[in-house]
Amino acid sequence: MSEVIANVPDGQVMADLDGAVQWAGANGGDLQKPAISGFCWGGCITRLYAAPILKAPVLGLYGEKDGGMPLDTIGKMNIALGDGSAAAEGAEFVVYPDAPHAFYADYRPSYRKEAAQDGWRSMLAWFRQHGVA
């Protein structure tokens, strides 16, 4: 699977997400409140997709031991969002102690059940809180 993901250009992924948003709008979704979520590579894609239009609250769920997302990067995101925007006002970052990268991937040795379940519940609650679920 990683060979496929590594070879898909970001532009194609962004176009696919545009298509998903269009489909959602055509099938009853509220395009005034789009929402996106992703884990691991999907989290990176989520940031890329949302960056040009980031005027909404942000939820980040991270593993403390994730070498791909050092804790100081999370602090820098907090600082960058400290501009009084809607994104900054609704920004929430959760760091799960001792959780590695891919703690949500139940098919990998890195899976951490407690963190994954809490992350899923937190994400759904966060979406409800912000009117998108």
- In the predicted structure, residue 2 carries a pLDDT above the cut 70: no
Give pLDDT tens digits for 90-124: 678 899 999 999 999 999 999 999 999 999 999 99
**Structure-token pair, residue 50:** 């949302």
As a whole number, the mean pLDDT across the chain is: 85
- In the predicted structure, residue 44 carries a pLDDT above the cut 90: no
Q: Which domains does the chain have, with CATH numbers?
A: 2-129 (3.40.50.1820)
**Structure-token pair, residue 116:** 């994954």
| 66 is known as an active-site residue | yes
| pLDDT at residue 114, rounded to an integer | 97
Q: Which of the residues 16, 30, 40, 83 is marked catalytic?
A: 40
Q: Which of the residues 10, 16, 18, 66 is marked catalytic?
A: 66
Q: Which of the residues 16, 18, 98, 101 is marked catalytic?
A: 101
| 130 is known as an active-site residue | no
Give the E-state strand segments of 2-78 in sequence order. 59-63
Q: Name the pLDDT band for 130 (thresholds 50, 70, 90).
A: confident
